[in-house]
Amino acid sequence: MGKKKIFNDPLYGLIQFPFDIVYQIIEHPYFQRLRRIGQMGLAHYVYPGATHTRFQHTLGATSLINRAITTLRGKGVEISETEHRAVNIAILLHDIGHGPFSHALEGLLIPVAHEELSLKFIDYFEDYFEEDFSLTKAIFENKYEREFLHQLVSSQLDVDRMDYLNRDSFYTGVVEGKIGYDRILSMLNVVDGKLVIEQKGIYSVEKFLISRYTMYWQVYLHKTAVASEQMLKLLLTEVKQEIKKGHKIQMPQPLLTLLSIKNAYQLENKKTLEQFGTIDDYDLWALMKACTTHDNKIMSYIANGLINRRIFETTVSNAPVLCDFKENIRQKVAYHLEVDDTTAQKLIVTHKESKGIYNEKTGKILILTKDGTIANFEAITDFNFYSHFHDKVFLCYPRL
């Protein structure tokens, strides 16, 4: 590509990347598609500034991983150019498997987790560029012997989380979510092939976890954001049922192809991945607009609600919703919307969230103490709420 491009990022300033293959991947249409996929789904209904994209986040995370590599090399950690290149590709493509509205429709639009789809895209790019991405895949799947490289990409304290917390905080205006990413990066080290944080950085780690807790319960799981996502899921479920019945719905052809998948083996079809690699938020907005005048009352009601921001009412509790309360709402929905009991029941959604900010069972944050020993973060911190899972039940239903 000749001279390497420089990106002006609102968080990190001017950034660029050390490998040509990174720029080649960025230029590919499948990656450019991330410009049209929102980082935070429908959260802009609550925070109007939250319209940033997966494209911005991915470039930011890749920039941070290069800062991390520079820090580790400065502390004597040997990282080859081959490893550096491979981990750049791994973080660059870690979110390539996201579909429209990111996590909001994960597993519904296509019944595969985005990480699995990202791995399939890595295979695709390996063939497309006729390059050897075997080390990238090993790092991505945590099958490489030097585990710290995978931990930089995906762990309890990775550059992915560092970037999205800082970026989402910036664009939502929720300043409590901002983290000291530069301080954390400067405290990184490697011992016995594992990523560690030097003890003098432990308070920055605590702030990171507090910020993550705040962002989840104040932003990502804000009741209006949850309600809007549940509406979108309900709409897609109804659309799939209409397609199964043979009814026509106006939508882009690639989206129709994906929503019509009947057998798991179709997911292995190369054309399925190609179709997925073309769809974005705009396709879903086009579908929503088409559904506003559909004969299916559920579809038209929800589509109009999403287009015009008439989001479902939501009650949030720490305990299961009482049956009498749900039945009372169902009767009101049936009466006010003039629909039958079955339709009214479909319009009432119960959604449970169980969120722990630090789960040592899936990987611990390791602290390099001042005396040179390694300790688990939870063993030496003054706080003990990080590993607690907090459960909330969301009951979403039409505003009456």
Each residue's pLDDT tens digit, 181-208: 999 999 999 999 999 999 999 999 999 9
CATH 1.10.3210.10 residue spans of the chain: 7-221
Most confident region among 24-33, 98-107, 259-268, 353-362 by mean pLDDT: 24-33
Decide if 117 contacts 123 (C-beta within 8 A). no
Q: Classify domain 223-353 by CATH number.
A: 1.20.1250.30
Average confidence (pLDDT) over 249-271: 79
How confident is the model at residue 1, as a pLDDT? 46
How confident is the model at residue 265, as a pLDDT? 54
Report how far residue 210's alpha carbon sits from residue 197's, in angstroms, rounded to the nearest whole number: 17
CATH 1.20.1250.30 residue spans of the chain: 223-353
Looking at the predicted structure, is the pLDDT value of residue 270 above 90?
Answer: no
Average confidence (pLDDT) over 287-310: 95
Amino acid at 246: G
Report how far residue 47's alpha carbon sits from residue 59's, in angstroms, rounded to the nearest whole number: 22
Bridge partner list, 396: 314, 349
Bridge partner list, 374: 368
Looking at the predicted structure, is the pLDDT value of residue 263 above 70?
Answer: no
Class of domain 7-221: mainly alpha
For residue 389, what are the contacts with CB-CB under 8 A and spacing of at least 6?
Answer: 354, 355, 356
The residue with tokens 């086009």 is 286
Q: For the chain, give the mean pLDDT.
A: 92
Report how far residue 67's alpha carbon sits from residue 56's, in angstroms, rounded to the nearest whole number: 17
Q: Which two tokens stand for residue 87?
A: 């981990």
pTM over 0.85: yes
Each residue's pLDDT tens digit, 20-47: 999 999 999 999 999 999 999 999 999 9
